[in-house]
Amino acid sequence: MYPSYMHESLKLVEQTRPARLKIAREKGRSKIFPSMTAEEREDVLHKFHPDYKKDAKHAVRIGPNAGEEITTEVADILESWPRINPDTFEPMLKKPDMETDVLVVGGGSAGASAALLAEQTGARVLLVTKLRLGDSNSVMAQGGIQAAVNPQDSPVRHYLDVMGGGHFDNKPELVEALAMDAPLVVEWLTELGVMFDRLPDGKLKTRHGGGTSRTRMLSCKDYTGSGILRVLRDEIECRNERIRVMDFTPAVELLMDAEGRVAGAIVQNFETDEYFIVRAKAVVMATGGLGRLHTQGFPTTNHYGATCDGVVLGYRAGAKMLYMDSVQYHPTGAVYPEQILGFLVTEKVRGLGGQPVNKEGNLFVFPLEPRDVEASAFIRECLERNNGIATPSGQQGIWLDSPIIEELEKPGTIERELPAMVRQFKRFGIDITKEPMLVYPTLHFQNGGLDVNAQCETNIPGLYAAGEVQGGTHGRNRLMGNSQLEITVFGRRAGKFAAEYALALKKELPLNLDHVRAFSKEVQKLGIDRSRVSPILLPDYIPSHIKEKQMTSHYLGTVRG
């Protein structure tokens, strides 16, 4: 239920709706508002995108990307002490607790796909994950997955859309893999039993997303990520002879051998605080993104575990990063009610014809610009033009007119296509089939990550990366539906190539932690306080009035040590 002071603005949204509906019907939905030119995009991004704010970036001072400007909060966790003391662990390295061919770190769809393909390639697989198998940003994805399956579309068109969305900074070989593998991934997922939305004749339902020139957004209602990952997880559980899963077991450091190859990891039982040495011939990093770093104080759509751990571990082992200066703010995060602040409102709402309008009920931007452009336009509308709607807690928001969907398509569409959204708002007394949602950009995605090639290899032998933790696929801006695609396409590739590498590896050399020791020396030189530790593993939501009373001698990141 919206507070009474918003009613006047809500009335205006209703009053302008018939005219907006008429334009959409007569001119077509792609013509309801002019899309921006290249120059206009550039301008709004520079002036309003959070990445361009002063202090948003800092030059990282140590490691392979030293001297490069990256997101400030990321620089901070890179310039941090390790959680473990290498000298304490050195004697344990001679007797690994577990051995495997491929170690997968992370339990989202990238990690799950990697585990399945590595197993299929003939490798023994150990999958460790900080929370439960399936706990990830993957499971939260709502709107869809892109794949050029329609006759009027092609992987080449998909390639062009991705490059344009990323402002042409994307790594071409990754985009090629993404677009060309997409239909193959959809075939694979279908064979495993994912229920994509279909028409009665079997044709896959496709819609537009921001920045698509053809309708190629496939979906599983608005539970797309869950619909995919639940199947991958079930399949892993069915192959438990050769894929061992350890829940609540984060990796806290990588292990290397004398030839500078990654050769395993130290993992921690998150509940008993035991540490285990895992020797692996290859490691696939599939740890996801960074939302829980709350860059620039933004709320986030991300899972509790999204703390950038994989970038930290890989970087310490010498892996290069790409585009870690770029964070995606999703245009439509909920701002009201307060309990769901920052929660994702899927782009599918706009894909179905939903319109963002200001406090006067007027459209001010084409609804499906690429995400960074759309988000910047929302911020401009609120901060520069003063056309936002203030919430009781002092946030600003834009109306996302969802009820118009029922008239553009047909009554019942919202209930059928957006059950998660309906449920989310209904819990707080808002019926999105009748009232708009109040939204504002929210921290959503790590655009950059570990630099990999199309085989998911980093510059360190034995270390692979797949999914949100990898950088380069999206340039500095991802389009909707390409993350579900990235995690499955590159998860599969990482699993396959890591397994092939592992199975061909003959000689196993003694393990060491020299890289951690060397990195710590650099951290010491910078004079970093001992309390600053990474990977942080969990975000810190304990209020200060509790901490004052805890009298704990020290914290390891947010987890008490």
Partner 1 sequence: MSKKQEQVSVFIMGKKFMVPAASTIMSALEYSGFQLKRGVGCREGFCGACATVYRLKDDFKIRTGLACQTVVQEGMLIAQIPFVPAVKPVYDISKLEPTITIFKQLYPETFRCLGCNTCSKACPQDIRVMDYINAVERGDLAKAAELSYDCIRCGMCALRCPAEIGQFNVAILAQRLYGSCLAPKSKEMIERVEQIRKGQFNEEMAAIKATDKAALKKMYYERDIEPGESV
Per CB under 8 A, contacts with partner 1 among 232-251 are: 234-235, 237-240, 248
**DSSP assigned state of 365:** S
Does the footprint of partner 1 cover residue 132 (CB under 8 A)? yes
β strands within 141-231, DSSP E: 145-146, 217-218
| DSSP string over 479-545 | PTTHHHHHHHHHHHHHHHHHHHHHHH------EE-HHHHHHHHHHHHTT--TT-BS---S-----HH
Binding piece for partner 1, criterion CB under 8 A, among 68-76, 260-268, 479-487, 538-546: 538-546
Does 330 participate in catalysis according to the annotation? yes
Cα–Cα dist 282/101, whole Å: 6
Does 350 participate in catalysis according to the annotation? yes
Among 191, 272, 507, 554, binds partner 1 (CB under 8 A): 191
Q: Least distance to partner 1 from the beta carbon of 343, Å?
A: 5
Does the footprint of partner 1 cover residue 23 (CB under 8 A)? no
Build a one-symbol-per-residue string for 38-67: x at contacts with partner 1 by CB under 8 A, - elsewhere.
x-----------------------------
Q: Which is nearer to partner 1, 4 or 272 (CB)?
A: 272
Per CB under 8 A, contacts with partner 1 among 288-317 are: 301, 303-305
Among 58, 205, 294, 517, binds partner 1 (CB under 8 A): 205
Q: Which is nearer to partner 1, 54 or 541 (CB)?
A: 541
Does the footprint of partner 1 cover residue 139 (CB under 8 A)? yes
Does the footprint of partner 1 cover residue 485 (CB under 8 A)? no
- Residue matched to tokens 């909920």: 334
Does the footprint of partner 1 cover residue 551 (CB under 8 A)? no
Among 100, 109, 113, 226, binds partner 1 (CB under 8 A): 226
Q: Least distance to partner 1 from the beta carbon of 319, Å?
A: 25
> If we measure between CA atoms, which residue out of 237, 235, 267 comes closest to residue 252?
267
Q: State residue 253 phi and psi, 5-degree precision.
A: -165, 150
Please tell me whether residue 65 adopts helix, strand or coil conformation: coil
Binding piece for partner 1, criterion CB under 8 A, among 70-78, 205-213, 312-320, 518-526: 205-213
β strands within 91-207, DSSP E: 98-105, 125-128, 145-146
List the beta bridge partners of residue 439. Answer: 334, 398
Query: In this structure, is the dihedral angle defined by the CA atoms of residues 421, 425, 426 and 430, taken in order, positive or negative?
Result: negative
β strands within 306-383, DSSP E: 321-322, 327-334, 355-357
Does the footprint of partner 1 cover residue 323 (CB under 8 A)? no
- Residue matched to tokens 């085989």: 455
Q: Which is nearer to partner 1, 180 or 390 (CB)?
A: 180
Cα–Cα dist 427/339, whole Å: 10
Cα–Cα dist 118/334, whole Å: 39
Build a one-symbol-per-residue string for 88-127: x at contacts with partner 1 by CB under 8 A, - elsewhere.
----------------------------------------
Among 206, 295, 332, 402, binds partner 1 (CB under 8 A): 206
CB of 375 within 8 A of CB of 331?
Answer: yes
Tokens for 400? 């996302």
**DSSP assigned state of 553:** S
Does the footprint of partner 1 cover residue 180 (CB under 8 A)? yes
Cβ-proximal residues to 524 (8 Å cutoff; 6+ apart), any chain: none
Q: Which is nearer to partner 1, 141 or 255 (CB)?
A: 141
Among 3, 122, 411, 419, binds partner 1 (CB under 8 A): 419
Does the footprint of partner 1 cover residue 186 (CB under 8 A)? yes
Write the Ramachandran bin of 187: left for phi over 0, alpha for psi from -120 to 50, otherwise beta. alpha
Does the footprint of partner 1 cover residue 512 (CB under 8 A)? no
Does the footprint of partner 1 cover residue 548 (CB under 8 A)? no
Q: Least distance to partner 1 from the beta carbon of 375, Å?
A: 19
| DSSP string over 448-460 | -EEE--TT-B-SS
Q: Exactly one of 207, 279, 350, 515 is catalytic; which is it?
A: 350
- Residue matched to tokens 């605080």: 273
Q: Exactly one of 41, 261, 330, 492 is catalytic; which is it?
A: 330
Binding piece for partner 1, criterion CB under 8 A, among 316-324, 504-512, 517-525, 545-553: 545-553
Binding piece for partner 1, criterion CB under 8 A, among 4-12, 86-94, 161-169, 317-325: 161-169
Among 53, 385, 427, 521, binds partner 1 (CB under 8 A): 427
Among 58, 61, 157, 517, binds partner 1 (CB under 8 A): 157
Tokens for 403? 């009820």
Per CB under 8 A, contacts with partner 1 among 351-410 are: 409
Q: Which residues are catalytic?
A: 330, 350
